[in-house]
Amino acid sequence: MFRLKRAAAAGAAVILLAGSLTACGSSGETAGTGKTSGGESTQTTAKAAVTTAKAPETQAESADKVDIVDVNSGERPFALSVNNTPVAVKVQTGLNRAFLIYELPTEGRTSRLLALFKNVDDDLTVGTIRSARHYFLDYCFESDAIFVHYGWSHYAEDAVHETGIDDINGLTDSPFWRDNPENLGNDHTAYTSIAQDKACAAEKGFAPDADNASDTILLNYDPGDIDLSDRGDVMSADLVSVPYGADHGTVFTYDSEKGEYDRIVNGEPNTDYYTGEQFTAKNIIVEKVTHEMTDDNYYWNIGDIGSGEGYFITGGKAVPITWSKESQRAKTHYYYADGTQITVSDGRTYIEVQPDDMETTIS
């Protein structure tokens, strides 16, 4: 039976003032009001948190440094379930500070983002935050990430309890607030900040560091740019279209001057609501997966454990690849046609986990 716990459920929402860095207890704020307990508008607070964010610190200057993420740091990432519902795409914020973003298929032929943030030390606002699906955990485990979400499907609730994953949930934890400048439904109004997530994780006793730095990094990075043009199976990739349904899809267009792809969602440029910044990707990995309905005939299971096909796209070029993942907690590995693992360019990567009955178009 369908029993998704929604963020709007009476008495379930636990919301915290955006600027506060305190703990995981209830703040006493009324869900969906757009006001803090002191009467200050959370819209103003959220804007301030975003516009004053500093650039992430990078590693010391050297010939082999990687800027997008500190590969030598053992700090565990935070994996945030970010709203990608068509009506709420326009209020997304903070995504250009993530080093790795998965786009994951969800029921109804839509998608949700799982954005990973590591070594972010300022009070970065990210949103809007949505509920968990059980297979999101498979991608959190790949980087030993702390999972941040607002609510869950009953399958995800079971998976969280069964696996014991470190998670922060808006139904019970407090580093969340609501802001609704576009008069959207309540499901589309929850925000969080990385600084507050860190404070909450510390109070809950989650280990801040992994056993090994490599446990927190999924991909192999080249400090420069990967050139795919010499590969025999290469194709031009100035435009990449990744549909998730008849009315929902992502397009990436290559900007040769920037050496990055601009992200377009449902025909509109995908930009940060508070800063106006275009969301971009240096690398795109398309991972084709099977899917089937769950027992309640509502949610999806996806075939992300096993192997399959896809594409690796960077620098205006694309090549076919394969992928494999041995178990829920294992990393997904991506391979060129010759069997060697791919190395990505130094930059933000979007992994588009796409149902295999939808066609990726590359031109």
pLDDT in tens, 287-336: 999 999 888 878 989 999 999 999 999 999 999 999 999 999 999 999 99
**Residue 185 and residue 331 in one domain:** no
| Encoded amino acid at 297, one letter | N
Give the three-state DSSP class for 95.
helix
**Residue 306 and residue 225 in one domain:** yes
Q: State the distance between the two ends of the chain, measured CA to CA, in whole angstroms.
A: 43
Residue 354 domain-assigned (yes or no): yes
What whole-number distance in Å separates Cα of residue 334 and Cα of residue 307?
Answer: 10
Task: Indicate the range of 3-12, 63-72, 147-156, 332-341 predicted with least confidence.
Answer: 3-12
Residue matched to tokens 């949610």: 299
**Residue 199 and residue 295 in one domain:** no
Residue 256 domain-assigned (yes or no): yes
Whichever domain contains 146, its CATH number is 3.50.90.10
Bridge partner residues of 192 (DSSP): 126, 176
Domain that holds residue 122: 42-53+70-216
The model's pTM is 0.85
**Residue 200 and residue 233 in one domain:** no
DSSP 9: S
**Residue 139 and residue 152 in one domain:** yes
Domain boundary among 172, 194, 216: 216
Average pLDDT estimate for 243-258: 94
How crowded is the C-beta side of 295, counted as CA atoms within 13 Å? Answer: 4
Identify the band that residue 50 occupies on the pLDDT scale cut at 50, 70 and 90. very low
Looking at the structure of the chain, the number of domains it has is: 2
Domain boundary among 188, 216, 244: 216
**Residue 295 and residue 331 in one domain:** yes
Residue 21 domain-assigned (yes or no): no
Quote the distance between the C-alpha of residue 261 and its chain's center: 17
Which residues neighbour 121 within 8 Å (Cβ) at sequence distance 6 or greater? 54, 56, 57, 195
Cβ 41 vs Cβ 35: under 8 Å: yes
Residue 45: pLDDT above 90? no
Residue 108 domain-assigned (yes or no): yes
- Measured from the Cβ of residue 292, the count of other Cβ atoms closer than 10 Å reads 8
